Amino acid sequence: MSASLPLPVVPSHQPAQLAGQDATTYAEWFACLAEPMRVRLLHAVAVAGRDVTVGMPTEQLGISQSTCFHHLRKLADVGFVRLRKEGTATLVSVNPTCCTGLPQAADAVMGMLGPRPCCPQDLPGDVTVRALEAGDWADVRRIYADGIATGHATFETEAPDRRSLDHTWLPGHRWVAEIDGRVVGWAAAKAASNRPVYAGVAETSVYVGDGFRGRGVGKALIHRQVTAADDAGLWTLQTSIFPENRASIALHQSAGFRTLGMRERIGRHHGVWRDTVFLERRRNDDL
């Protein structure tokens, strides 16, 4: 997969044109998947959810090992899968980048990377979002730790202390979500740069506590986050998300964020190089 999928910058009254290099890359991806057996192989490896030996899809799909190797190498050439040796065995796994890169390619070709919705509308009735207060910091750090425990929320290995968060987060852009009076999530923004020209650009985070995911807490938080940012005059919100965290990527897309690209091997997490998906949201009147 390409390390970055840049979006063309054109005046708002003109339709965006697909860059030649992007078109070439996407054509290579689609050509690779024009062979049905490769689609079946990619699916078999993806749903396994772990590294598998080449023998697994060979047996599952009823093909010879040489045929399986041939198609896996084609998939590896364009970055859909990764092959590695472990002793005498060859292990295959899905490249997480393709989970975002392939939908990105389809969206780009079909002209779907224009303005996005403002924010989610189907908000849960039992979630209340309010400004963070002094007594919330213990809950914020607890929920931060819940996210760290998933392994797919942040490069941090322990929750930052209150002083660090208070110093970093922008006043007026700190929110907590409650259910029945209990803090179950938080959202915050920090300045992307200290240069005046980027005064309206912020990096955002949304965390939901363990046991409360899937209940619309994230939707309620990001709704308040983006609408408050719009009202405050912030013109760009940006965030980086591990590609494995598909729920967070979908949440941000529902709030008007679009994928700008994949940052490959951007940092080490517990000694392992990790990629991140870079997303951005522009205020509607600045698109």
Q: What is the rounded distance in angstroms from the CA atom of residue 23 to the CA atom of residue 109?
A: 8
HEC readout, 233-258 = CCCEEEEEECCCCHHHHHHHHHCCCE
Task: Give the pLDDT of residue 206.
Answer: 97
> If you average pLDDT over every residue of the chain, what do you get?
88
**Band of residue 116 on the pLDDT scale cut at 50, 70, 90:** low
pLDDT tens by residue, 54-106: 999 999 999 999 999 999 999 999 989 999 998 888 999 988 777 667 777 87
pLDDT mean over 44-63: 90
**Which domains, and CATH codes, for the chain?**
20-109 (1.10.10.10), 128-286 (3.40.630.30)
Q: Taking Cα atoms as reference points, which of 58, 31, 104, 47 lies closest to residue 257?
A: 104
**CB-based contacts of 215, cutoff 8 Å, min separation 6:** 124, 126, 127, 179
